Structure 1
Amino acid sequence: MTAVGIYGSLGRMGRTIADVLEDVGAGNAGGVDAKDDCRPLAGRADVLVDFSVASALTEHLEAARIAGKPILIGTTGLSARHHQLIDAAAAEIPVLQTGNTSLGVTLLGLLIREAAARLGPEWDIEIVEMHHRHKVDAPSGTALMLGEAAASGRDTTLSEVRVDGRAGLTGARTEGTIGFSSLRGGSVIGDHHVVFATDGERIELGHRGEDRVIFARGAVRAALWLVGQAPGRYRMGDVLGL
């Protein structure tokens, strides 16, 4: 039985992952909080999942690398420096980093990339996301992931076309940009809607997360898939063969 170690085990996602391990036939190697020594857990787990905080990622990656263990990173709010560290670790161990472990969101990303690739630049792209009042980063990691899918479909990078939270006299919309709007309130698990709009018609693709367990199930499925993979940086789409 594959033993899964949980970084961020005291958080909501960490606790939910621990609850579903037995349901999917996986073992629990234990968990630690961000302030704890992460090295012992890396040594005894077959694979690690990290849903802690961005400030702990450097230490968690180093522990996984030294132990030679694959790691799934679901922590959001990562910086460019964090992604550089992930790339470096992926040269030695399998690493899957994602803003969302839902299998439904993973498929949504494919649909968005395909739509963006086939619709011309006259189709504007806007991404709206809503989460609970306690979420600290915006736009969400999932929204950014969907934006990257749309940008990829148009053979560009999100950094070149991203527009956040318009306010005031912003002028007319620039063709080819991808806009983001973030809503916060209540106990919303995660709603994401991507709008393709042109003169006279509109296409809307979206996903609503109704229970945090969908992310835990997807995370565990991805972690188990990661075991035995060659060193490299992977995506949730790889888990589904997309």
Structure 2
Amino acid sequence: MTRIGIFGSRGRMGAAIATVIPMLGATYAGGADVGDDSAALAGASDVLVDFSSPTALGEHLTAARLAGTPILIGTTGLDGSHQAMVDDAAREIAIIQAANTSLGINFLAAMVEQAAARLGNDWDVEVVEMHHRHKVDAPSGTALLLAQAAANGRGKSLPELSRFDRFDSTDPREPGTIGFASLRGGSVAGDHMVVLAGEGERIELGHRAESREIFARGAVKAALWLAGKSAGRYSMADVLGL
């Protein structure tokens, strides 16, 4: 059976993934957290999943490269320097970087891209998300993933189209732009909705996470798919065959 190791095993997602691994016919190779031996875990695993923190990413990628072990990166809040590290590591090992490992969310992203491509710039796009009170990044990585899908559908980059703050603005909405609303409170696992609003009608494409287990199941399925793959960058869309 495929041996899956977890970086960030004591966190919420790490613990959920450890529980799901045997349910999906794999073996839990163990976990590594702050102060643990990352290299030893990488060497004992057929594939790794990382749901730790941006500050630990460099160490984990180094361990994965030295062992030649594929890795799924689910950590969000990464900046340009982190992306460069991932790109560099993907020359030697197989990597999936996923802002959200829910299979449903990734299928939703494909629908959003198609809708944005077919409906055109006269349909306004707004991304609304809500998470539990402990989530620190806003917009969520998933909201950015969905917005990127809309931007892809319009043949543009997200930095060109994204508008994160309208506070104190007196200008009308710019055609073709993508707006965001981030809500935080309670214990919400994750709600996302993409609103495409046209003249006299609107489409709402959404997803509600009812438990953290859906992300854990998606992560394990993606890890099983990634095991044994050649070096390069892959995505959850590849896992779904989209």
Instruction: Sort the TM-score into its range (normalised by shorter chain).
Output: over 0.9
What's the C-alpha RMSD, in Å, of the aligned pairs? 0.8
Aligned residue pairs, count: 242
Secondary structure of the residue that 1:21 maps to in structure 2?
helix
Percent of residue pairs identical: 62
Aligned ranges 1:204-223 → 2 under 5 Å: 204-223=204-223
Amino acid of the structure 2 residue aligned with 1:164: F
What CA deviation, in whole Å up to 9, does each residue of 1:87-108 have, x standing for no partner? 1111110000010000000100
The equivalent residue for 1:28 is 28
Secondary structure of the residue that 2:191 maps to in structure 1?
strand
The equivalent residue for 1:171 is 171
Aligned ranges 1:2-151 → 2 under 5 Å: 2-151=2-151
Kept in 2, the 8 Å contact 1:165–1:182? The answer is no
TM-score (norm 2): 0.98
CA distance in 1, matches of 2:96, 2:4: 14
TM-fit CA distance, 1:32: 1.1
Secondary structure of the residue that 2:138 maps to in structure 1?
coil
Task: Report whether the alignment pairs 1:240 with 2:237.
Answer: no
CA distance in 2, matches of 1:14, 1:21: 11
TM-fit CA distance, 1:169: 2.8
Amino acid of the structure 2 residue aligned with 1:159: P
The equivalent residue for 1:190 is 190
CA distance in 2, matches of 1:96, 1:178: 26
CA distance in 1, matches of 2:234, 2:34: 24
Change (3 A) 1:35 1:161: farther
Query: Can you give the 5+ residue segments of structure 1 that lack an aligned partner in the other structure?
Result: none
Secondary structure of the residue that 1:128 maps to in structure 2?
strand
What CA deviation, in whole Å up to 9, does each residue of 1:168-198 have, x standing for no partner? 2341001111111100000000000000001
TM-fit CA distance, 1:34: 3.3
TM-fit CA distance, 1:20: 0.7
TM-score (norm 1): 0.98
CA distance in 2, matches of 1:82, 1:35: 21
Secondary structure of the residue that 2:59 maps to in structure 1?
helix
Amino acid of the structure 2 residue aligned with 1:50: D
Change (3 A) 1:33 1:170: farther
Secondary structure of the residue that 1:91 maps to in structure 2?
coil
Kept in 2, the 8 Å contact 1:130–1:182? The answer is yes
Query: Can you give the 5+ residue segments of structure 2 that lack an aligned partner in the other structure?
Result: none
CA distance in 2, matches of 1:208, 1:237: 19
CA distance in 2, matches of 1:170, 1:227: 52
What CA deviation, in whole Å up to 9, does each residue of 1:196-226 have, x standing for no partner? 0011110000000010000000000000000
CA distance in 2, matches of 1:132, 1:166: 23
CA distance in 1, matches of 2:235, 2:52: 19
CA distance in 1, matches of 2:204, 2:227: 36
Amino acid of the structure 2 residue aligned with 1:37: D
Kept in 2, the 8 Å contact 1:162–1:177? The answer is yes
CA distance in 1, matches of 2:49, 2:74: 7
CA distance in 1, matches of 2:119, 2:170: 25
The equivalent residue for 2:228 is 228
Q: After the TM superposition, which parts of structure 1 deviate over 4 Å for at least 4 consecutive aligned residues?
A: none
Kept in 2, the 8 Å contact 1:34–1:52? The answer is no
Amino acid of the structure 2 residue aligned with 1:207: H
Secondary structure of the residue that 1:96 maps to in structure 2?
strand
Amino acid of the structure 2 residue aligned with 1:52: S
